[in-house]
């Protein structure tokens, strides 16, 4: 039953927003990876998942905020069962490690999808990245981090609206990056953010 | 209708088979990188033609409802391609939502229920008034006129104009109306195909490099004349005499040409090469239907005013 729901969810997303993929800097691979993307709308988790080929998708777990996706049985079901998401706390208790569930997945050889902006931005501008991605990159120096740029999401489902406009969204996958030896947190975060922004070019011109 | 349609379908499938054979031979001969790319694109186009003929022919065989649903779906895809490339602001969100999920379905329901009076004015009167009205609710006045125009033209081209092709099914002319639709589609699409073929074979003089860099004068004249010739020979599908068929095909070809041109101009304005990606070798749905957007309403009205009983 759950696999059927998953398939239907992906099919629905493909019909509604196209959910196309464009592999620019790398190709689909089942090796464990950390995918990270810009965050504009509720659709973007499903858009990336639908853009991944099935073999990759089934090994990839998006990260979702517990304070949003954990608040009702329906949202929880869509997130945890439909998308295989891991729910994490955006405001963790002191002395706890909110990244723990992600580290466990990566140790098991699975891939994760994170949105380092932390929250959906209200504009097309990409907000500064939060530090979680840096900590993961340091903890797993041999795992490729793949930047993803999602276009049009702001227009498909803007913050504060529940009406989906079925404009096509393209997920562009860029060149893998890793944390360099001795690279500082802010330098790495800026580099990762720049990698996403770089993929934004010519969204309409292509 | 069925025997005549079966004959036309057989002819088209035969033509496609010949095209596929030529494509296969060219593929084995092509060696230079440039010609390899051209042949590759040609073969992708031919493959897509097989699929398009199967879908369109299948819908015609299934009957009027299937045809209307097919065109509603094509309009949906075309409108989506239009808005994927065209900029919009937060203040347009509700208007866009209504375009896709209220205006488009209502318009096609009016078509399906043969309510011509409201079908003809629903978009150009009511949608055109209501959508800008809705857009004022967010209070965003930035580029308001230009934004309203984009919302309206998106619907005009992708929904209203295209729907005039299946609207031919409403008309009582004494001949099966589905064949009128087949006739329109054949003449418009053959005109495009012939323009492409003539242009590739002997095109030299670029017609309008700014708007459509691949269109040549030779392609235009040769392609248009060939399509008009076929349109004249196919007069039996229609209520026209051979002479009338020649005149009507000329109108279709000229209108179709401007349709392609106007849609190309919009694409250039938006810095895009193709409208979309769903039809291999052709681009998007709107790349294939651009000529129809102008040819369908003209053909519809000509038939409606002069040939309905």
Q: What is the pLDDT of residues B27-43, one digit of tens each?
A: 998 888 888 888 999 99
Query: Mean pLDDT throughout A8-13?
Result: 86
User: Whose CA is closest to A191, among A179, A174, A202, A203?
Assistant: A179
What is the pLDDT, as a whole number, of residue A71?
86
What is the pLDDT, as a whole number, of residue A65?
83
What is the pLDDT, as a whole number, of residue A123?
66
Q: Is any Cβ of chain B less than 8 angstroms from the Cβ of A20?
A: yes
Q: Are A23 and A176 in contact (CB under 8 A)?
A: no
Query: Mean pLDDT throughout A7-21?
Result: 85
- Which of B93, B151, B272 to mutate to probe the A interface, most A CBs <10 Å? B93
Please state, in angstroms and rounded to a whole number, the distance separating the CA atoms of residues B53 and B41. 18
Is B84–A168 a contact, with Cβ atoms under 8 angstroms apart?
yes
Query: Mean pLDDT throughout A124-135?
Result: 87
- Scanning B262-281 for CB atoms below 8 A from A yields 270-273, 276-277
How close B134 comes to chain A (CA, Å)?
Answer: 14
Q: Which residues, including other chains, have CB under 8 Å from residue B260's CB and lie 6 or more apart?
A: B192, B212, B290, B291
What is the pLDDT, as a whole number, of residue A206?
35
pTM of the model: 0.90
- Scanning B9-28 for CB atoms below 8 A from A yields none
User: Which chain A residue has its CA at the smallest distance from B76's CA?
Assistant: A166
CA B112 to chain centre: 19
User: Which chain A residue has its CA at the smallest distance from B268's CA?
Assistant: A205
What is the pLDDT, as a whole number, of residue A75?
87
Q: What are the residue ranges in chain B where pLDDT is below 50?
A: none
Q: Are B151 and B96 in contact (CB under 8 A)?
A: yes
What is the pLDDT, as a whole number, of residue A203?
44
Please state, in angstroms and rounded to a whole number, the distance separating the CA atoms of residues B80 and B227. 30
What is the pLDDT, as a whole number, of residue B1?
63
- Scanning B98-137 for CB atoms below 8 A from A yields 100
Q: Taking CB atoms and an 8 Å cutoff, what residues of chain A touch B90?
A: 154, 158
ipTM of model: 0.82
Q: Taking CB atoms and an 8 Å cutoff, what residues of chain B touch A158?
A: 90, 93
SS3 B206: strand
Q: What is the pLDDT of residues A37-86, one digit of tens each?
A: 998 787 888 899 999 999 999 999 999 888 888 888 988 888 888 889 99
Q: Which two tokens stand for residue B167?
A: 């609207």
Q: Which residues, including other chains, have CB under 8 Å from residue A78's CB and lie 6 or more apart?
A: A9, A69
Name the band, by pLDDT with cuts 50, 70 and 90, for residue A121.
low
Does the structure show a pLDDT above 70 at A122? no
Please state, in angstroms and rounded to a whole number, the distance separating the CA atoms of residues A111 and B71. 41
How close A19 comes to chain B (CA, Å)?
Answer: 12
Domains and CATH numbers, chain A: 2-200 (3.40.1130.10)
> Mean pLDDT lowest for which of A105-114, A122-131, B35-44?
A122-131
Q: CA dist B234 to A201, B7, B187, B246, B299, Å?
A: 48, 11, 9, 10, 15
Is A167–B97 a contact, with Cβ atoms under 8 angstroms apart?
no
CA B86 to chain centre: 19
Q: Are B230 and B190 in contact (CB under 8 A)?
A: yes
Is A163–B97 a contact, with Cβ atoms under 8 angstroms apart?
yes
Does the structure show a pLDDT above 80 at A201? no
What is the pLDDT, as a whole number, of residue B209?
86
Reduced 3-state DSSP string for chain A: CHHHHHHHHHHHHHHHHCCEEEECCCCCCCCCEEEEECCCCCHHHHHHHHHCCHHHHCCEEEEEEHHHHCCCHHHHHHHHHHCCCEEECCCCCCCCCCCHHHHHHHHCCCEEEECCCCCCCCCCCCCCCCCHHHHHHHHCCCCEEEEEEECCHHHHCCCCCCCCCCCCCEEEECCCECCCCCCCHHHHHHHHHHHHHHCCCCCCCC
Is B276–A204 a contact, with Cβ atoms under 8 angstroms apart?
no
Q: What is the pLDDT of residues A159-200, one digit of tens each?
A: 788 898 999 989 999 999 999 988 999 999 999 999 999 998
Query: Mean pLDDT throughout A85-95?
Result: 80
What is the pLDDT, as a whole number, of residue A204?
41
């Amino acid at each position: 039953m759950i696999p059927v729901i998953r398939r239907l969810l992906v099919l629905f997303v493909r019909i509604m927003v196209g959910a196309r993929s464009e592999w620019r800097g790398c190709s689909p691979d089942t090796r464990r990876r950390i995918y990270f993307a810009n965050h504009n709308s509720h659709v973007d988790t499903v858009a990336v998942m639908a853009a991944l080929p099935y073999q990759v998708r089934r090994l990839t777990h998006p990260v979702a905020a517990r304070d949003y996706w954990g608040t009702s049985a329906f949202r929880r079901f869509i997130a945890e069962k439909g998308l295989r998401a891991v729910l994490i706390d955006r405001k963790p208790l002191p002395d706890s490690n909110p990244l723990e569930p992600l580290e466990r997945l990566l140790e098991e050889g699975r891939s994760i999808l994170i949105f380092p902006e932390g929250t959906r931005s209200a504009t097309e501008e990409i907000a500064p990245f939060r530090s979680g991605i840096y900590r993961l990159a340091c903890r797993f120096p041999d795992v490729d981090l793949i930047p993803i740029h999602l276009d049009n999401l702001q227009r498909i489902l803007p913050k504060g609206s529940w009406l989906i406009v079925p404009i096509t969204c393209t997920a562009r996958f860029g060149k893998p990056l890793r944390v360099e030896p001795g690279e500082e947190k802010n330098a790495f975060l800026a580099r990762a953010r720049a990698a996403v922004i770089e993929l934004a070019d010519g969204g309409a011109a292509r | 209708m069925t025997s005549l349609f079966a004959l036309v379908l057989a002819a088209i499938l035969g033509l496609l088979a010949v095209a596929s054979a030529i494509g296969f031979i060219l593929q084995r001969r092509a060696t230079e990188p440039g010609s390899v790319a051209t042949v590759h694109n040609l073969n992708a186009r031919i493959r897509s033609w097989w699929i398009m003929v199967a879908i369109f022919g299948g819908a015609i065989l299934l009957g009027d409802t299937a045809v209307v649903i097919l065109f509603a779906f094509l309009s949906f895809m075309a409108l989506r391609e239009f808005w994927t490339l065209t900029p919009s602001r937060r203040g347009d969100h509700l208007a866009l939502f209504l375009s896709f999920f209220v205006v488009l379905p209502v318009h096609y329901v009016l078509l399906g229920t043969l309510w011509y009076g409201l079908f003809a004015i629903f978009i150009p009167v009511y949608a055109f008034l209501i959508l800008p009205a809705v857009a004022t609710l967010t209070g965003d006045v930035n580029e308001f006129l230009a934004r309203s125009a984009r919302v309206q033209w998106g619907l005009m081209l992708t929904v209203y104009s295209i729907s005039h092709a299946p609207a031919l099914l409403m008309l009582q002319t004494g001949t099966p109306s589905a064949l009128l639709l087949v006739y329109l589609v054949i003449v418009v699409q053959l005109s495009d195909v012939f323009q492409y073929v003539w242009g590739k074979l002997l095109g030299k003089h670029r017609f309008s490099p700014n708007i459509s860099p691949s269109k040549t004068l030779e392609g235009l004249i040769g392609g248009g004349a060939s399509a008009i010739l076929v349109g004249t020979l196919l007069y039996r599908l229609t209520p026209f005499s051979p002479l009338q068929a020649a005149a009507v095909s000329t109108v279709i070809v000229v209108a179709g040409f401007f349709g392609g041109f106007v849609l190309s101009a919009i694409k250039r304005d938006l810095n895009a090469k193709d409208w979309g990606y769903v039809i291999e070798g052709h681009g998007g749905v709107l790349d294939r239907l651009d000529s129809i957007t102008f040819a369908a309403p003209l053909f519809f009205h000509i038939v409606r005013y002069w040939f309905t009983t």
